[in-house]
Structures are given as C-alpha cells and as structure tokens.
Structure 1
Amino acid sequence: MSDDTLISARGLSVGFSIGKGLFDKRILKAVDNVDIDIQSGSFFGLVGESGSGKTTLGRAFLKAVTITGGSATYKDGEVEYDLTTLNGAKLKDFRKRAQLIFQDPYAALSPRMTVRDIIAEPLEVMGLTSSREETDERVREIAAKCRLNLEHLRRFPHAFSGGQRQRISIARALVSGPKFVVADESVAALDVSIQADVLNLLKELQRDLGITFLFISHDLSVVAHTCDHVAVMYLGRLVESATTRQLFEAPRHPYTKALFSAIPSLDPDDEKSAQKLEGEIPSPTNQPPGCKFHTRCPFVIDKCKAEEPVLEHADGTGHEVACHRWVELMEQKAL
C-alpha cells in the first residue's frame, strides 16, 4: 500500500448465511476475494450490473456489514484502522471519517425534522460540537457549500425537489468532516439535468474539501464524466480496474466491453453494434466454476470453465484485468 492510499483491501470477502436450519451452512458470497486500493483525494468509480456486489463492497468499507474474509484498512496520515476488527470507541471515531450518501433522496430524510435538524443530527450524535451556536455555525457553513440558503434550513423535506433533497443528504454526510464518502447510486433517482448539477457539486466539494469518493453507479456515462479511476465488478469479483481514460479507450475484459457497447450514441451515423450478453448474472448462491463470466462470455474456452482468472497487471500503467484470453483477444482486435 502506497503512502497516498486511503482504503486498501486484500482478499476482501463478505458472506451472508442463508441456511434455514441448524445443519444448513449455505453462505451467499456477495463480495468474494477482492483486491483494491483507493487513493486519497480520488473520485473512484465502481460499476457493474445489479447484483454484482457493488453496494455490499461500499458498505464493507464503511463497516456497515461484517467483513468475513481477507483484510481491509483505512489509513489517513497517522490514523489507521483495521476494518475487519473495528469496534467500540475506534468505530465511533471512524464514523466521523467515513460517511454515506444514500440513493433515494425521498426516503433518506425524516419528514418530521427540519433541514437544520437533519444536517445537525450527526454533529449532535457524535458529540462534535459543544453548543447549539457552534452546531448552527457548522450547519450553515456546510449548507452554503451545498448551495442551500438559510431559508431552506427552516423548512421540512416535503417542500423540496429531488435535487434539493439530495443536496440536503450530501450536507448531512459532509457536516462531520469525513475524509471518505461512499456515494451509492446517488444521482440514479434524479432527472438527467439535475444529475449534472449534483455531480458537478460533488466534484467541487471533492476539490475544495479534499474528500475521497467511492462512487457506485450502473451508468457509465455518469462515471466517465465524474471519476478518475474505475473498477468493474461482476458477481462479487473485480474483473477490471484502470484509470477512466484507459478503461474507456481500451477495455480489456469482455464484460467491460459489453457494458461499453451498450451505451447509446447520439450520433446517427455511429454504426457500432452492441455486444449482446445472453442470459442474466448467475445467482451468488450457485456460482459457476472457473471464470464467473464464462456462462455469458462469447469468447469462452474450456480453460475459462475450469480455472478462475486472477486480477493481473495488463501493462505498466496500473491497468488490471482478470481474463485468461485478454492478450489474445486484443491481438485479434476482438475487444
């Protein structure tokens, strides 16, 4: 792990027991053997289909679900936490440093609280301020950064649009001064025009406050606009990881290529054809052997069905891919 790595995981796994009896020991592997490094101050994207494990991985980094295997650490300067064993007073301190922006701006806010009280709640629960005046000052400061004015603080959530509610959610997440924020599909429920406004706000806050974002999304166009680095997830595993430019210019994994080919083009003369994926993502409770993607991959061979590929460096730039045939397919220009 380099000095500027904020979150680092090796072999990280998260499993949930789904057995219905004393002797039923079945485990659902939502995240399986993930290696990942998130650099401090970056806007790190995590993409994949529904059911790929994106949200569970994000919650594992927030210590919101139990990590059942591997290692995960948070390191900010002299402060370091082992996320696999974190509890008690250290967990309470970690909550000040890592926060979540929820997906649904309508369900995330209490209808019985004013905007001021919603934003102030983390300060009061964590004991970060010593007086109401100090709390109000912190609330007004972060509200202004999130483009909310003093009049907004007196109202209740029902008086706001979806975009305004999401700005309230962002202010609540940032009021404690976190260094790491997970934004889980945080613009998926918003209109396209409002999405751009919220994304620009997040980028502005990242720049001004030095926040590290883990941005979870299924929308590749949004990821391309926002993120510095992107990791692609499939059935609980990372299949590719690279800078945004590298990934969009030269995807190395067939799954990544299929995701990109499905992005609609506004150019009527663009004759690219989408690489259709047959079938649906397999169930985490009944995962196929070998490469998890082989049941839907158009380039599958016998080796793919028997041996699971590991995430390896594709070149000297940090581009990583987990595919047995990526070199061959690149040479054939199949990707």
Structure 2
Amino acid sequence: MSEELLISTRDLSVEFKIGSGVFSKKILKAVDGISIDIPRGSFFGVVGESGSGKTTLGRALLKAVPIAHGEARYNDGEVDYDLTTLAGPDLKDYRKRAQLIFQDPYAALSPRMTVRDIIAEPLEVMGLTKSREETDSRVREIAEKCRLNLEHLRRFPHAFSGGQRQRISIARALVSGPQFIVADESVAALDVSIQADVLNLLKSIQREMGLTFMFISHDLSVVAHTCDHVAVMYLGRIVESAPTRQLFDNARHPYTKALFSAIPSLDPDDRGKAQKLEGEIPSPTNQPPGCKFHTRCPFATDICKREEPPLDTCEEGHAVSCHHWQELSENVPA
C-alpha cells in the first residue's frame, strides 16, 4: 500500500445552524477539529456511536456539506484540490473522482428506473461517454465486476434482494471511475451472510482498481475484517486512531475499550464482561467543557472536566485523546 496521501485534513470542522429567529439560533458542531491522513489505496475505517459525526465527516470529504473551518485536501497524483474552496468546473470534476455508497439499498435506488439506467445515470449526467454504445459498454463492464449479469440490467430494483441491490449501488458508485469512495454503513442493512459477501466484493474491487475507501460503521467486527486503519469518533472528535490490529490488540482510550468490550463473544466465560457506559451521548448543541467523554467516563478527574485533551501520539501511527491514557494502559486490561 502506497503511503502517498489521497485525503488529508487539519482541524476540519462542520457546523450547522439550527432553530429559528435571531436570538434562538444554536450552532451544532457535527465535526469538531478533525485531522486525518488517508493513504492512497487504503481502507480507512471510522467508527463510533450514532451522532458521533461519522457520516458528516464523510459527506464533508465528498463536498456534500460545507466545511466551516480547517483544511482538507484531495490529491490523486493527477489533480490537487483544496476541498474548502472547491467550486465550479473543479467541483464537477471532483464529483467523478469521489463517490458515495449509501446505507440503505432499498431507498437508494429509483423504483422507476431499470438497473441499466441506474448505473448509467452518472455517466450521462457527467457527460463521461459520447454515445449510448459507449455507455452500455461501460455499464456492462462495471456490472460484471459487481457480479451482475446482462439479464439483471433489464430488471427494476424491486426484483432484487438487499444484497443484489447493494451491488447495484456499488456499480453506480464505480461507473464514473472514482479514486475515493465513502461507504456509509454500506452493509448495516444486510443479513450477516450477505454482509460478508458484499465486504469481500468491496475488498476485491479495491485491490483490482486501486481504490481508496473511507468505511463508516458502528460494527467493530466488520471494521476488523476490512480496514487497514481505524479512527474512533465521539461527539464530533477523534478520540483514538491507529492501525486496525494495533487498535484491537492495545486500545488506549476508555471509550474505545468500552466499544470493544461490547462485541459479542461465543465464549461463555466472556459474557457479562462488557463495560457499561452510563448515560447518553451529550447533545452536540450543548457540549460539555473539557474532555467530551468525561460525563460518561468512569475514570474522569477534575482535569478532564476543565481541559480538553490533545490527540497525543503514544506509538507510531497510534494516537489517543485522553489525559490518563498512560496510567489506564498500565492498570486496565485492553
């Protein structure tokens, strides 16, 4: 895997104004000061609870929501784009280089279009082909990569299962020849057996086409199967980031450890050992001071309530945002 960076962000923030009236508007910080590096050809995972900002981060990198502060760059060796100011013809060009695979395969496809027309739509909208024959050739090529046959192309989405629909969604994302794909909970709505098939398809396509994926998920077992590097998000911030195996073998942040302890185990002796987190994730419009996790952390002290911890490097490629990660690593089993 090349270590040339495709996506790089520094202190990236995304904010939304909510409410109405001059005095009642609030600022929702969906993404707050995110710095990540995604190497070309990698499978980069982002995990966290619902409301942690995972999807908003992915959409910001796709230029689907405005970036409020910070820096974000895309560089595939052919073009170098500043995503914070991208507009006009450059934004149109970026659309074919960065694509999204949606979570729900049932809602993502138009019931009034055939599979052929669904996959061909990006080519026609972006003007990437000059004739119907060229479009059909490209559609057939991508459909074959996604294990769809010619008979499938004539049908409508209602004739397919969830796994087949997701393969159609993947084909639509690939047809424009992108370099970067955000897969937003792309197997969450599928049965477990179908999940494995779709994940193996994504990994196969990634290797064959040299693609870079941001894989957003709440399922840690899925992330362990697919991703090279994982960033753990909580309330719009990254609390821990490391290569996948290193993170699973030696998690440092209390939140990460709590997530790992909740993974179901087939070992009867491991049952009942999950670290329960008290309370709910705080509202993004009313975030606590200091460490965002201190309201639910069993190890929080006064400094956690006052000061926000930086994202410190504890090992090569492994960073953690916690005031007490060193003593917790010594005293609390990972």
Query: Normalising to structure 2: TM-score of the pair?
Result: 0.98
Which residue is equivalent to 2:131? 131
Deviation at 1:23, TM superposition (A): 3.5
Residue of structure 2 in register with 1:88 after alignment: 88
**What secondary structure does 2:151 align onto?**
helix
* Residue equivalent to 1:236: 236
Q: Residue 27 of structure 1 corresponds to which residue in structure 2?
A: 27
Instruction: State the 1:19 CA deviation.
Output: 3.7
The residue type paired with residue 148 of structure 1 is L
1:54 partner letter: K
- 1:280 corresponds to: 280
Question: Which runs of 5 or more structure 1 residues have no equivalent in the other structure?
Answer: none
Distance, in Å, in 1 between the alignment partners of 2:231 and 2:199 is 19
Q: Secondary structure at the match of 1:269?
A: helix
Q: Does the aligned pair in 2 maintain the 1:143–1:171 contact within 8 Å?
A: yes
Q: Once the two structures are superposed, what CA deviation does each residue of 1:25-57 show, in whole Å capped at 9, x if it has no partner?
A: 421000001111111100000000000000000
Once residues 273 and 298 of structure 1 are traced to their aligned partners in structure 2, the CA distance between those partners, rounded to angstroms, is: 15
* Structure 2: stretches of 5+ with no match in the other structure: none
Over the matched positions of the two proteins, sequence identity in percent amounts to 80
Q: How far apart are the structure 1 equivalents of 2:288 and 2:24?
A: 20
Name the counterpart of 1:152. 152
CA contact (8 A) 1:261 1:272 kept: no
Matches of 1:3 and 1:164 in 2, distance apart? 34
Residue 140 of structure 1 aligns with which residue? 140
Alignment partner of 1:321 is 2:320: yes
Displacement after TM superposition at 1:333 (Å): 3.1
* Alpha-carbon contact 1:115-1:157 (below 8 Å) kept: yes
Residue 85 of structure 1 and its aligned partner are, at CA, apart by 0.5
Give the superposition deviation at 1:130: 0.4
CA distance in 2, matches of 1:251, 1:64: 32
Number of paired residues?
333
Aligned to 2:107: 107
AA of the residue aligned to 1:146: C
Give the secondary structure class of the aligned counterpart of 2:28. Answer: strand
Deviation at 1:3, TM superposition (A): 6.4
Question: Counterparts in 2 of 1:237-256, with a 5 A limit?
Answer: 237-256=237-256
Alignment partner of 1:311 is 2:331? no
Q: Does 1:219 align with 2:219?
A: yes
Task: Report the aligned-residue RMSD.
Answer: 1.1
Q: 1:271 to 1:155 in 2, by over 3 A?
A: closer
Contact 2:309 2:323 in 1 (8 A): yes
Task: Work out the CA distance in 2 between the residues paired with 1:241 and 1:49.
Answer: 16
Query: Per the alignment, in what secondary structure is the counterpart of residue 270 of structure 2?
Result: coil
- Report Cα offsets for 1:50-95 as digits up to 9, x if no partner: 0000000000000000000001000111411110011110000000
Alpha-carbon shift at residue 114 of structure 1 (Å): 0.3
